[in-house]
Structure 1
């Protein structure tokens, strides 16, 4: 007996689920989330933009981790733990630099290349200029005094090869100009409650895998230390936040999505009283998320965490599609549902046009949003329209809703004139807010954070305890050759030292202090005395002093060998004691070389002299905050342009579809009023509008288009009108619940998205209800 064929509905559902499973499998293997906020900055269009973005993405500040060791133990125990942790981390390949205040360590260590080249690159006063008879005499007397004082000479073992302490002075030049409090030889917070440390990683903050390994390695090393018993380790810094944000975004998105899903399922269950419809209604959303995520991952190679989080909730618009299908397909014939499908697809098309405009921007993060949203909405709308009706339970009928009929009968209907008045009132309020508050755009990239406020405050506290300088201001030079970069950095040294002496800047890092240009190194080499001359000077300088000349033979040998050395380059120092520091300040930029001079403690009155020096010497002054503010201002300008284009395209699409100026006006009026009021409320509540608010307003526009189109759709009869009211109300309620949960997020970016859309849904739904003018067909 042949087996019965499975029902068509079962085959269709199974096929859909298999496709979803394959998409989930593909995303699981290929999805690479990113939390690099610079993806929401434009691609560099000028040399300064390229420098700025290189520092935002991978500069010293972006690769710095701040560590704080605390616990209810004596300060000596904290210091021991700090030294033990630093010692272990210095052997870790992922750590480029470890600093915890151990000044003695650098003095005891010897870098062979650095030591060999000391007379070419060291401070002239203790190196080349000290090789005169008078200079040698003074140096030998200083060494004798040090020995006689009883104080330990940190470089005593190098005395025979370095009597002028050239190498000591070279190492001292590497010590940061501003340091925290020191206790027991390491850095401490001012109150003595925490030992402090700075770790610079090789990996960029945007390289989440490498940053995660670095953070995990630091924690594992600390936990394994015998000295860490009873102590705690806290971390801060961009790399740590990037790793934490990745997990936090995933966790919060999952938790909020579950909570929103439960609330949404509850609303759908109350509205349609069918578990099957509730479960089926989730499939178009899942399909949209899966297709959109896969497409973005394929096109861009990674998906930004904010794009993913927004996309997962962004398809709250798509939740309206199954609701419209359920409300209108149950018990209605094809003649009645055909106009509904046209309205559904028109709403989808106009919304997708708005998102598609974002895909053609110079902001990768914004482009990702546009692609994900457009692809997701198209998928959700098409699956809702062509798959859900065939999967609905046979014979399903909508539950009777007497309260809905009563609400429809008593629903106030305002005239278009009242709507125009609301628009003018909103514009007047917006103008008043802008006149009082000024520029509404948030252009401080530090506030565009995926990091909770508590973590930001901890970071600020550790930086304050470290006395960490503000490295947002710097000088830079770009040239084709490394030697040219070093020459220009040397030229600015006197100006910087003068500004520091005047107290106009607190300090600076200039690689030319440790790695002079080849021209300067050649000049130092040429100034070195010949062996016979140096021997004679040394003998004269040592007259009546107790040092034996044979003990100083290594010194004479080294100076003589230095006369044959070729100038040192950054590549020669890559693996040495000074190499890490040099690589931070002298780095490739495309086919050119970039030299950086980070400035700390820059007074406002120092900016003018800095810019003048930079212009005179062929280098550039850059304020990273001002630079990113300019880029973000460009973001707002370009996004607003795209919004204008999107608005015109949407209006044109509606005009072609509706073919009636009166109907076009009725549909557009609540949309425009809702956007104006939402924007005004955002400024009043938040004080400014950031890029997440602005992008979310496009989602508000999409929801408003959906509500207005359906509520202004000519109804076949009173039952059709009630079905429309039901579908719009249920869709608005479920979207409100979804984004309301997002507004509760501790992540500022997600909270901004949730607040914006929640306010927008409220305004769009109420205004669409009040201003709708749906008439019966015929």
Structure 2
């Protein structure tokens, strides 16, 4: 007696299912295991130096945790009122770590920071202007004393006789359109017709893109709707917005696609079999998805939303084995469930082994998303097969599934037509040649370009808002930046300054719109020492401050000020960044690395010509150009080629296994089914103008497994031709339903995967049925 006929195995497996479900539920209650982070789809870059890895993490955090908002109106008062309401509303939700809008600075702390930074952060040009014409600097302060409309500094004039405070404030704003309105406390942009107010919301560090707060997208949409009603414009940008929308889209698609696929599949089966008992096939589906999620979460700690969407589409594949088994009951008058199970399981087990070899090959690829999907699919197929083997026969022990006679007639007629077409193609020598020419023409036109932007659905609305914010703020972040390494802070700033001069040339040539570097904020220690000496020489030039003396200012006060300035402690990079004035530069300093060197980022915006920037890199001198988008696309190309090589290797393993079991001639014939199906699918992609993405390649792995399953199943001579025909048609139809639905997904990667499998299964069905003998099919036609 086969092991699967012993009830003890069924009970043990049911106990395992309960334990797995309980463990997964407890794990999910402790922490949300659903991942929506785009970056988690990507591999860790093991070839990067520590500074590059830290820079990548810092830049991702900068883009992903922060949401930038611009509230605009032609009425400044209306814009301020709307911004104030928005800041309070967002703060009160508890979603964000902080919501920065109206600034009420600690004046005492701000003054103290300005005083300690006076020598360190003044740009070289500003300092030279003061030292070359000190009298003009003192005269400006003298005029400010008597002019009520003069620009006021945060520092009192008697503490800032050279006017360094205003210079520091201008440098802190980077001379960009965003300016701090001292009267209102808001950060403003005035584009001539609209007053914009800048706000920034930061998600908690534990949130990021992996754990997007549930209420974020609802809050964003409510904010937009409420401000539109007030006739106030609002623009938002941030990686978290795209992640939240992709999470919502993925969850929505996962629900409606799985529901639609399951509904259509079981509606079809109910119409064909005319028995509610067919609904028992929901059980292996549920078990497969349960074990798929559990295996993925166990190995990776989470499951990505794209993996879940792809995984739930396996419904049709999970039904293949039980449908092959039940197909024998369609024809046989005296159906023997255990005998039918034995014959179907032998064929399916072989195709399952070949399928698992393909999934094992995907684990070698460096992309976590392919690894996750391979683990999910393998676990789902194995668990669903075991449930069908151990538990389903008990549920079908009394009632035989009987298919509708007309449906059976249609199936057999279709089988006869396919076989007739096969014979016509064989007889007409030019038809195979025409097919080969069409196939070759399609393969030559195939677009194999891979791009991370093809993986997800980037909303045009949010892209447009992000671009407009970039134009208004004159900051358009890009995926390119420089990473610098040096032995000490002074050398690091010198490298940054030299690189900055080259970047200024590129700006003049319209190769990029701007950049941000540490040397724009802080000067080297040697420069600060030189400035102390400059102040010492200035103290002897009493003619410079005569205008202040004429206004009654005691000369002692001026000398005390200069003396304090001369004795100003030197500021390191870390010390200079430890204040609110340096917020824009704080993320650029990476600190000391494990090799003892210090590192920093030079961020770029509005990059128009990457190759010109690449030439500025000098890795031997510690200047690295990072182009994340290019690196990822190169990685995708390499991974796609690797996947194709693995697919070819899996074919070689399959032919050895098939030759051992069936002989070389029949083994080659069986393997031709998935190979030709994959090639026809590639040709369809080419003629339709669809790009062959990594997900499409992964779909072809699944097509190989399904094609082998059908080819092996139709070769079982112990089963009647009609039984094999019905089994393949039923399995292919249910599989095509679920994957064809995926082809309409808004997520390009999912759509590409669904199309490749749907077309591949269609051709696998046609080619597998073409292997059936014609004479037997006629006999079945007559019996019907």
TM-score, scaled relative to structure 1: 0.83
Which whole-Å deviations, capped at 9, do the CAs of 1:367-400 have from their partners, x for residues lacking one? 1111111111111112112221122241424335
Q: Give deviations 1:752-775, integer Å, cap 9, x for gaps.
A: 322222222222222322344599
Cα shift readout 1:554-584 (whole Å, capped 9, x = no counterpart): 8844752663514323266345331453224
Structure 2 contact 69–198 (Cα < 8 Å) conserved: yes
Match of 2:358 in 1: 354
| Cα 1:390–1:562 shift into 2, 3 Å | farther
Q: Secondary structure at the match of 1:714?
A: coil
Change (3 A) 1:473 1:333: closer
User: 2:311 aligns to what?
Assistant: 311
Cα gap change, 1:191/1:168 in structure 2, threshold over 3 Å: closer, same or farther? closer
Distance in 2 separating the partners of 1:614 and 1:123: 26
Distance of aligned partners of 1:70 and 1:144 in 2 relative to their CA distance in 1, 3 Å threshold: closer
1:658-680 alpha-carbon deviations (Å, 9 max, x no partner): 33222212212221111111122
Compared with structure 1, are the counterparts of its residues 236 and 524 closer, same or farther at alpha carbon in structure 2 (3 Å cutoff)? same
Flag the 1:664–1:111 CA change in 2: closer, same or farther, 3 A. Answer: farther
| Shift in Å, 1:453 | 5.0
Q: For the structure 1 residues 540 and 178, does the alpha-carbon distance in structure 2 shift closer, same or farther, using more than 3 Å as the test?
A: closer
1:432 aligned residue (420, 438, 441): 441
2: CA distance, partners of 1:766 / 1:290: 32
Aligned to 1:3: none
Measured after TM superposition, the shift of residue 289 of structure 1 is 1.5
- Output the aligned Cα RMSD: 4.5
Question: Match of 1:247?
Answer: 248
Q: Which residue number in structure 2 is paired with residue 478 of structure 1?
A: 485
**Equivalence for 2:726:** 726
Structure 1 residues 78 and 391: alpha-carbon distance in aligned structure 2, compared to 1, 3 A threshold: same
Q: Does 1:135 align with 2:133?
A: yes
* Contiguous gaps of at least 5 residues in structure 2: 1-6, 777-784
Q: Could you tell me whether the CA contact under 8 Å between 1:508 and 1:600 is conserved in 2? A: yes
Per-residue Cα deviation, 1:410-466 (whole angstroms, up to 9, x for no partner): 3332269689998876664455346556xx223332222144455445544554565
Classify the secondary structure of the residue corresponding to 1:713. Answer: coil
Q: Paired residue for 1:666?
A: 669
Cross-structure match for 1:650: 654
Q: Map 1:496-535 to 2 at 5 A.
A: 496-501=503-508, 503-525=510-532, 527-530=533-536, 534-535=538-539
Change (3 A) 1:364 1:182: same
Residue pairs, 1:412-491, within 5 angstroms: 412-413=418-419, 414=422, 428-429=437-438, 431-433=440-442, 435-436=444-445, 440-453=447-460, 455-460=462-467, 463=470, 467-469=474-476, 471-479=478-486, 484-491=491-498
Q: Is the 8 A contact 1:311 1:369 kept in 2?
A: yes
Q: Which residue of 2 aligns with 1:290?
A: 290
Contact 1:711 1:774 in 2 (8 A): no
1:598 aligned partner: 603
How far does residue 26 in structure 1 lie from its aligned partner after superposition?
4.0
Aligned equivalents of 2:539, 2:170: Cα separation in 1: 28
Verify: 1:411 aligned to 2:411, yes or no: no
Partner residue of 2:710 out of 704, 707, 710: 707
Alignment partners' CA distance in 1, 2:458 and 2:616: 38
Deviation at 1:193, TM superposition (A): 7.0
1:685 is aligned to: 688
Aligned partner of 2:4 in structure 1 is none
| Alignment correspondent of 1:271 | 272
Taking the aligned partners of 1:434 and 1:545, their CA distance within structure 2 comes to 86
Alignment of 1:228-239 (within 5 A): 231=232, 233=234, 235-239=236-240
Determine if the alignment matches structure 1 residue 367 to structure 2 residue 367.
Answer: no
Distance 1:726-1:616 versus aligned 2 partners, 3 A rule? closer
Q: Distance in 1 between matches of 2:663 and 2:721?
A: 21
Q: What do the CA deviations read for 1:301-339 (whole angstroms, capped 9, x no partner)?
A: 121211121112134311212212322368126455422
Q: Aligned with 2:133: secondary structure?
A: helix
1:145-164, aligned counterparts within 5 Å?
Answer: 145=143, 151-155=149-153, 157-164=155-162
Displacement after TM superposition at 1:732 (Å): 1.6
Q: Secondary structure of 1:688's match? A: coil
Q: Aligned in 2, Cα 1:695/1:304: closer, same or farther, shift over 3 Å?
A: same
Q: Deviations over 1:162-203 (max 9, x none)?
A: 232323223322335654899998666969579464637476
Q: Is the CA contact (8 Å cut-off) linking 2:119 and 2:568 kept in structure 1? A: no
Alpha-carbon shift at residue 703 of structure 1 (Å):
2.1
Kept in 2: contact 1:444–1:629 (CA 8 A):
yes
Q: How many residues get paired?
A: 755
Q: How far has the Cα of 1:553 moved from its partner?
A: 3.4
Question: Taking structure 2 as the reference length, what is the TM-score of the superposition?
Answer: 0.83
Moved more, 391-400 or 535-544: 535-544
Q: In the alignment, does 2:56 pair up with 1:46?
A: no
Report deviation, 1:742.
2.2
d(CA) in 1 for partners of 2:207 and 2:429? 48
Question: Does the CA-based 8 Å contact 1:81-1:227 persist in structure 2?
Answer: no
Greater shift, 533-542 or 260-269, is seen at 533-542
Residues 22-43 of structure 1: CA deviation (Å, up to 9, x unaligned) = 2552453355222233334333
- Choose from 376, 381, 394 the match for 1:377: 381
Give the conservation status (yes or no) of the 8 Å contact 1:477–1:595.
yes
Q: 1:713 to 1:739 in 2, by over 3 A?
A: same
3-state DSSP of counterpart to 2:365: coil
CA distance in 1, matches of 2:452, 2:480: 15
Alignment of 1:607-618 (within 5 A): 607-608=611-612, 611-612=615-616, 614=618, 618=622
> Any conservation in 2 of the 1:492–1:617 contact (CA below 8 Å)?
no
Q: 1:293 to 1:491 in 2, by over 3 A?
A: same
Per the alignment, do residues 89 and 406 of structure 1 end up closer, same or farther by CA in structure 2, a change over 3 Å counting?
closer
CA distance 1:349–1:97, shift in 2 (3 Å) = same
Contact 1:161 1:552 in 2 (8 A): no
Structure 1 residue aligned with 2:391, among 387, 395, 408? 387
How far has the Cα of 1:514 moved from its partner? 0.6
* Residue 524 to residue 773, structure 1, CA distance change in 2 (3 Å): farther
How far apart are 1:294 and its partner, in Å? Answer: 1.2
Decide whether aligned partners of structure 1 residues 534 and 150 sit closer, same or farther in structure 2, where only a CA change above 3 A counts.
same
Q: Distance in 1 between matches of 2:633 and 2:277?
A: 50
**Equivalent-residue separation in structure 1 for 2:8 and 2:196 (angstroms):** 69
Q: 2 CA distance for matches of 1:420 and 1:563? A: 97
Q: CA 1:107–1:38 in 2, change beyond 3 Å: closer, same or farther?
A: same
Question: Which residue is equivalent to 2:781?
Answer: none
